[in-house]
Amino acid sequence: MPADFISSLFVFILSAFLGIELIKRVSPLLHTPLMSLTNALDAIVVVAAIIIAGRHETKLSTILGLVAVAASFSNMVGGFVITDRMLGMFKTGKAAKKP
């Protein structure tokens, strides 16, 4: 078993537990924005896609990497745009009274 695996597992377990604790505290009111936000954060795989596409190891890996860049970056941009829009709609009684 590679040494990297253990340290990766360590990071994974801690992040998953932290995630569970944080997400339990998110109000059900915001479950839809939560899903779109975590989607946008998950789109950080774009960094791996950029490296694969930028390394030019084989033609295939470059093409697959470039498709992955487009797919994940669209998630990043779209996820943040829609989360921001949705949150802008959530107003309290006082704020909503304003035109």
Partner 1 sequence: MSPADIQQLIDFTYIAAAIGFILAIKWLGSPVTAKRGVLVGEIASAIAVIATLSDPQVSQYKWIIITLIIGAAVGVPLGMVKMTAVPQRTALSHAFGALSAALIGIAEYYVAAPSVPRFQMAEIGLEVIIGSLTFTGSLIAAGKLQEILPQRPITYKGQNYVSLTVLAAALGLVVALVLHPEMTFLFPIMIGVALIFGIMLVTPIGGADMPTVISLLNSYAGFSASLLGFVLNNKVLIVAGALDGASGFILSVIMCKAMNRSFTNVLFGAFGQVQASAAGAKEERAVKSASPEDAAGILAAANTVVIVPGYGMAVAQAQHKVRELYDILTKKGIDVRFGIHPVAGRMPGHMNVLLAEADIPYDRMMEMDAINGDLPQTDVALVIGANDVTNPAARTDQSSPIFGMPIIDVDKARTVMVIKRSMAAGFAGIDNPLYYLDNTMMLFGDAKKFVGDIVRELSGGSH
Q: Name 10's Cβ contacts closer than 8 Å, sequence gap at least 6.
A: none
The minimum distance between CB 3 and partner 1, in angstroms, equals 10
Site track 78-97 with partner 1 (rule: CB under 8 A), x = hit: xxxxxxxxxxxxxxxx-xx-
CA distance 45 to 23: 21
Q: Which of residues 20-79 bind partner 1 (CB under 8 A)?
A: 20, 22-58, 60-62, 64-79
Residue type, 84: D
The minimum distance between CB 10 and partner 1, in angstroms, equals 9
The minimum distance between CB 17 and partner 1, in angstroms, equals 8
Q: Which of residues 2-31 bind partner 1 (CB under 8 A)?
A: 2, 4-5, 8-9, 11-12, 15-20, 22-31
- Phi-psi domain of 13 (left: phi exceeds 0; alpha: psi -120 through 50; beta: other): alpha
The minimum distance between CB 98 and partner 1, in angstroms, equals 10
